[in-house]
Amino acid sequence: MSLTLKPLLLLLLLLVLSHHACSVGSIVKFLPGFEGPLPFELETGYIELGEEEEVQLFYYFIKSEKNPKEDPLLIWLIGGPGCSSLAGLFFENGPVTLKFGVYNGSVPSLVSTTYSWTKWLSEHPQFFPNPFYVAGDSYSGMIVPAVVQEISKGNYICCKPLINLQGYVLGNPITYAAFEKNYRIPFAHGMSLISDELYESMRRNCKGNYGNVDPRNTKCLKVVEEYHKCTDKINSQHILIPDCDDKIHTNHTSPDCYKGHWQRYNWTIPYDHDIKSSVPYHMRNSISGYRSLVYSGDHDITMPFQATQAWIKSLNYPIIDDWRPWMIKDQIAGHTITYSNKMTFATVKASLLVDTRQSINQTRPLSCFKGGSVAILCNRGSWP
């Protein structure tokens, strides 16, 4: 299946605006691996789009446990590209997570989580008045800003009732990959993954370009090779926990890793990458007055927080609330800064990757929307 951003946006707009989309949903009260009835309301189903209903989007929708009539309503777009939306449910924002400690190769055990923030919009008319946010992480940083812009346009040119679009939320977002990858080197240096000498040699010989190196620049190629020797065995999504992704030398992985095959991404989906940078969309959404929260786990080398800070600064908006810590139970949980375009940036002293060996309360990232209703969408047939 070939998927470009343009049809994806059209599908999302049809999802939230069209009166011709046919949806088939049902309430799920029990899940395999979870003891007893679910302590929350879960609806799953398919939304069929197109003249011949040739496109089917699977969704799961979780109603707010507080005040669903007034709480924010958000749609969560998963990253990757090619990541199963189950990753969002189990690892990022859902009310249940996998309990790896008791996994014996059969049906995985599920446990309730304390923190769950929720996202989605469908044709359920009772939710149209709710404040609506679009959210996602990782590769969704290329998609969410464009989706916000398209919904805003749709509100302007057609369709009643209007979607009560308020803004968007992004975690460790890819925004301009060719530019952002260069920030992995100062991140690695700041985290003591490479030496001062190697870092200075890389700066001197590569001039800030560490990815697409001129093959004639042999000095840069050599120090980049040394950099990879120091970092390739690091868990790139959370540098403090074991790297469990060595598919070739499985006997080299940490004893804390699950000894089996777990595929979180499907890299074989033939995407057309027709947006090179989402920065212009952030600019236009700012001009339109939408709020945004952008947060970065400060132990993620895949998309370092320095890279996110750099493109935010490039928008050239004044600071209205300067760098300061934010707290959970009198403990510093990260730092944050707010700009005049209603964009807040925050670091989280963790990673988007949940370490399931610890308490879920310790490793859940940001929990800004504790009330709300969530749905996560994926294209039927996209996942293995």
CA distance 185 to 202: 9
- Mean predicted confidence (pLDDT) in 198-202: 94
* pTM to 2 decimal places: 0.68
Q: Which domains does the chain have, with CATH numbers?
A: 5-176+268-379 (3.40.50.1820), 179-236 (no CATH)
Per-position b or e across 210-232, b if 16+ CB within 10 A of its CB: beebeeeeeebeebbeebeeebe
CA distance 172 to 294: 8
Give residue-wise pLDDT tens across range 118-152.
354 445 667 777 888 888 888 889 989 998 998 88
Give residue-wise pLDDT tens across range 175-191.
998 888 899 999 999 98
pLDDT at 100 over 70: no
- Percent over 70 (pLDDT), the chain: 71
Q: Name the average pLDDT for the chain.
A: 75
Of the pLDDT bands very low, low, confident and very high (cuts 50, 70, 90), residue 228 is very high
Of the pLDDT bands very low, low, confident and very high (cuts 50, 70, 90), residue 337 is very high
pLDDT at 262 over 70: no
What residues contact 277, with CB distance under 8 A and at least 6 apart? 175, 176, 179
